[in-house]
Amino acid sequence: MERALQIGEVAAHSGLAASAIRYYESLDILPAPERSASGYRWYTGEDVDLLRFVARLRALEFPLADVREIVALRRDGKAPCAAVRSTLSREAAAIESRIKDLRRLAIELRSLEERARDLPDDWPTVCVCDVLESPKQATR
């Protein structure tokens, strides 16, 4: 029988905080561990491996619902490959869309910056802040 690990050891080995481990347990991503007579959680090396996998998925910004589905498939002895591919595709597309939105926003901010560059700070008559309130009306 492998040695049981306490939550602090699991946290150290998985790179996750103890609170994250308890959170994943509450979401049924991590199965409830056995408990000692005094109520301490006892984890296994398999739990550490699972938590490392979960940490990797979360680092890739997989939504928790997808993590739960993928882990459940693994737990049931089914290949999660299709679910992983689907999530990879969907999340990559979402990030690409967000990048496009951020590029448009950067262009708008640079345009406002350029228009505001030479405006006087003659508040309340004319002010750099005016380009934010009505960007089309602010003039030099």
- What confidence tens digit (pLDDT) does each residue in 2-22 have? 779 999 999 999 999 999 999
pLDDT tens for 65-96 read: 999 999 999 999 999 999 999 999 999 999 99
- Each residue of 15-34: b (16+ CB within 10 Å) or e? ebeeebbeebbeeebbeebe
- Token pair 């262009």 is found at 107
Beta 34-35 vs 41-42: how paired, if at all?
antiparallel
- Rounded to the nearest 10 degrees, what angle do helices 18-26 and 7-14 cross at? 100
What predicted TM-score, i.e. pTM, was given to this entire model?
A: 0.76
